[in-house]
Amino acid sequence: MGRLLLAPMEGLVDDVLRDVLTRLGAYDLAVSEFLRVSGSVLPVRSFRRICPELGRGSRTDAGTPVVVQLLGSDPACLADNAAQLVELSPAGIDLNFGCPAPTVNRHGGGATLLADPEQLFRIVAAVRRVVPTVIPFTAKMRLGVRDTARTLDCARALAAGGIVSLVVHARTRDEGYRPPAHWEWVARIKDVVQQPVTANGEVWTTADHARCCAVSGTPDVMLGRGAVADPFLARRIRALAAGQAIDSDRSLDWLLLQPLLASYWQQVCGKVSPRQAPGRLKLWLGSLRRNFVEAEALFIAVRALRGVEEVSRVLRRHGVPVVPAAG
């Protein structure tokens, strides 16, 4: 059984959802949402905002290590910020070369850098110089911008720059999140770099995980949207690897998920404004509908609601043990 990593997903998986998902165990590592670096050294509070786990040993409450991901295009600026981050003793530092968002790419960051392997090398080499070897230094890439013409050159550049491992989201920037993921390209990348390579993209089920490992040739997989849609996915993958049977009836899983939904909701209400909190819950429920009929019913029940208290009342009616507000 290889490693299972929880993917960074900007705007979706923050410290609250990382807390909930890692409570179910089974993850070897989680990666934070990216912290955008541009033009100056960010204050310590910026690193702690994106990764509050830095205040408790760079681990979730369940003990899962959390790597902090940086995004930018200027080698010197990224290196200066990485040096600042090193002082906070993260479980690792990761560089984002895979974000497909237009707002990021317009500023020369994320996946658009895959058009320039030489710049990838300059960035990684600059950051490598300031990150001590005791802190794992990694990167995440896609297969390219529009095509795979420079995929292997990009992987070689990142490896030569000094990363210790590489995650490959097996789609190009322009493919976004459209299936399929081209896992066969992960195998091709493995053939040209010495560092361990982790596959990422389009793993929604235990069967997807098995196919991904077989096609990519790597036992290590990063779970993203599939983990959000099925919080038990990593646990089910490990159970199958251990020769245990897994139940196709998800009703028991839903009962186990209810207190975690309550914890998520209450943490979100404590973190964001009352106006924003319902939207965050609906976003997760929208993903959970893929695997749980109960989530579909709950999503429909809260979809039109905007008030925190009315959402809490509906959650309780659906068996989610939300504690009523004091007074």
Catalytic residue among 51, 77, 99, 213: 99
d(CA 136, CA 93): 6
| Whether the predicted pLDDT of 107 surpasses 90 | no
Listed in order, strand segments (DSSP E) in the chain are 4-6, 29-36, 66-71, 93-97, 137-141, 165-169, 197-200, 221-223
d(CA 230, CA 16): 16
pLDDT band at 100; cut points 50, 70, 90: confident
- In the DSSP assignment, the letter for residue 7 is P
Q: Is 212 a catalytic residue?
A: no
At 10-63, the pLDDT tens digits run: 888 999 999 999 998 799 999 999 999 998 999 999 999 999 999 999 999 999
Q: What's the pLDDT score for residue 99?
A: 87
Q: What's the pLDDT score for residue 196?
A: 98
pTM for this entry: 0.96
Name the percent of the chain lying above pLDDT 90.
91
| Whether the predicted pLDDT of 326 surpasses 60 | no
Tell me what the mean pLDDT of segment 267-283 comes to.
96
- In the DSSP assignment, the letter for residue 59 is B
Q: Which residue has the higher pLDDT, 71 or 326?
A: 71
| Whether the predicted pLDDT of 126 surpasses 80 | yes
Q: Which domains does the chain have, with CATH numbers?
A: 4-241 (3.20.20.70), 251-317 (1.20.225)
